[in-house]
Amino acid sequence: MAENFMEQIKLGKLPVAAKLFVTMFLLIVGLGYLMAVLNIQTTIGLSYEGIVNHYKGSEKDPAAYPGMDMPTLTSTTHTHLVAMSLMFFCLGMIFLFSSASGWLKKLIYLFSFGAIPADLGSAWLTKYVAPDGAYLMLVAGGIVGICVLLEILIPLYEMWIKKSRT
C-alpha cells in the first residue's frame, strides 16, 4: 500500500502552483544553506586549523582564539540539532516523492541524518577529546552539503526538466 501511495504522487505531475510552492521552498532552503557555509567560511574558515581554533582555542594566540565555552557549545548544538533535523525532514519529504531509486533514497536519508550527530558531535570531540575531531567535522559537513544538494536538485530536475511519463 505504501508503494502504491508513493506512485500516485509524482513531482513532475504536480500542478504548476504546487511546483512553484515546492520550488520556492527548495530554493530558499538552498540559499539558507549557502549562507550557513558563507558564515562558517567568514567566521571559522573551512579548514582544520580554523575549526580547532574556534572550538578548542589556539595555544599560539589564545586572546584571539579563546575557544568556545560550554554554554555556547551547548546552545549551538541544541539549535543546530533541531534546525538540521527539520531541514532534512522537510527536504526528505519532498525527495521521498522523487523517482530516485529506493536504495538511493535510503542512502541519502541515512547519510543526511547520520551526518547531523557526527557534525555536531565533532565540535565536542574537538573541544574536549582531541583536536583531530575537526577532521570528522570536515567530512560530516561535506556529507551534509552533498545530501542537501541532492535533495534539492533531484526534485527540481524532476519538476521542471525531466519529461514525465504517464
Q: State how far the Cα of 32 lies from the Cα of 20, in Å rounded to an integer.
A: 18
Please write down the long-range contacts of 42-45, taking CB distance under 8 Å and 24 or more positions apart.
Answer: none
In this prediction, residues 135-163 reach a mean pLDDT of: 97
Q: Give the count of beta carbons closer than 10 Å to the beta carbon of residue 114.
A: 14
pTM above 0.75, yes or no: yes
Phi-psi region of 130 (alpha: psi -120 to 50; beta: other; left: phi over 0): beta
Residue position matching grid coordinates 509524482 = 10
Q: pLDDT at position 164, please?
A: 64
CA 25 to chain centre: 15
SS3 13: helix
Q: Read off the pLDDT band of 2 (50, 70, 90).
A: low
Instruction: Report DSSP state, residue 64.
Output: T
Among 43, 27, 114, 102, which residue's Cα sits nearest to residue 76? 43
SS3 164: coil
SS3 165: coil
Tens of pLDDT along 34-88?
Answer: 999 999 999 999 999 999 999 999 989 999 999 999 999 999 999 999 999 999 9
Residue position matching grid coordinates 504548476 = 16
In this prediction, residues 123-138 reach a mean pLDDT of: 98
Contact present, 51 and 132 (Cβ < 8 Å): no
